[in-house]
Amino acid sequence: MRLDDDQVRRFEDEGYLFLPDVFTAAEVAVMKGELPRIFAQRRPENVRERTGDVVRTAFAVNTYDPTFAALARHPRMVEPVIQLLGGAVYIHQFKINAKAAFDGDQWQWHQDYGTWKNDDDMPDAKAMNVAVFLDDVTEFNGALMFIPRSHRIGVLEAGHDTSTTSYPLWTIDQATIRRLVGEGGLVAPKGKAGSVLLFHGNLVHASPGNLSPFDRTIVYVSLNRVDNAIRRFKRPEWIAHRDFRPIELLPDHCLMTLSRAA
Ligand code: SIN
Ligand code: MN
């Protein structure tokens, strides 16, 4: 899948790009079919919400679930990133954020590259995220908020917040967010399951809790250029992966073929 010049320019200007209808309803159904089995597992990779037993994030699912292993090598997910980053990529992090109905907690204001630099010693911001919507994302169920163009200002100072949610995060203070929003405004891209949202590693983002009765499951794949591999191995391998080999792409139909074989 190749982005056209206008899409590349929009990504470079705004720091994100929303692509509707990248995965079909049938492909989404195949992926969603795996979720109950994944979320039921008691394993360190499944981080639960602080309120109880509901899974907040399931990390590294691509390493043990064949369906998500296929998504991790899917050309419609990976090729636009190779194009935008200008070289071969590997998976730095793979996670499913459940943002479950009623229980899904907030994600505070942050930049992902800030964490990749601080914790993992990733040399450069030559890494970015692909968000694959497995549910419709609406104004009700905790959509991501972006500050457009904030990816241009480099890495901001951040504090390590270990108490607001069940997952520690390097977060940006309120005065800085107020100033940046004053300059760049706010957007919250919404869309149907099967949509994809690409965003720059330095784009400032957050999301509110999900008070609605609708889940907001999103897969986040963080792809990094192979010549930009991390140099510190402080975090567990299931959070900051160590396999720096370039992704070998599967055929376009891989999700459907796998489901038939299963
Ligand atoms: C993230 O920023 O890593 C996750 C945000 C979300 O799932 O809303
Ligand atoms: Mn993030």
CA 260 / ligand 2 centre spacing (Å): 34
CA 117 / ligand 2 centre spacing (Å): 13
CA distances from 12 to 57, 85, 198, 199, 219 (A): 29, 11, 11, 10, 23
CATH class of 5-261: mainly beta
pLDDT tens, position by position, 27-65: 999 999 999 999 999 999 999 999 889 999 999 999 999
pLDDT tens, position by position, 55-106: 999 999 999 999 999 999 999 999 999 999 999 999 999 999 999 999 999 9
C-beta of 218 in contact with ligand 1 (< 6 A)? yes
Secondary structure (DSSP) of 181-240: HHHH--B---B-TT-EEEEETT--EEE----SSS---EEEEEEEEGGG------S-TTTS
The predicted structure's pLDDT at residue 261: 44
Strands (E), the chain: 16-19, 46-48, 55-59, 89-97, 107-110, 127-133, 145-146, 159-161, 169-171, 196-200, 205-207, 218-225
pLDDT tens, position by position, 150-190: 999 999 998 888 888 888 888 999 999 999 999 999 999 99
d(CA 207, CA 146): 9
What ligand 1 atom has the least distance to the C-alpha of 144? Answer: 8
pTM given for the model: 0.96
The predicted structure's pLDDT at residue 149: 98
CA 227 / ligand 1 centre spacing (Å): 26
d(CA 99, CA 108): 13
CA 262 / ligand 1 centre spacing (Å): 30
C-beta of 108 in contact with ligand 1 (< 6 A)? no
The predicted structure's pLDDT at residue 259: 52
What ligand 1 atom has the least distance to the C-alpha of 107? Answer: 5
**What are the domain boundaries of the chain?**
5-261
Residue nearest to atom 7 of ligand 1 (CA): 97
| Cβ neighbours, 10 Å, residue 44 | 10
What ligand 1 atom has the least distance to the C-alpha of 207? Answer: 8
C-beta of 93 in contact with ligand 1 (< 6 A)? no
72 burial type by CB count under 10 A (0-12 exposed, 13-18 middle, 19+ buried): buried
pLDDT above 70 as % of the chain: 98
CA 261 / ligand 1 centre spacing (Å): 32
Q: Out of 220, 222, 239, give the residue to mutate to test ligand 1, the one with the largest number of ligand atoms within 8 Å of its CB.
A: 220
d(CA 129, CA 92): 10
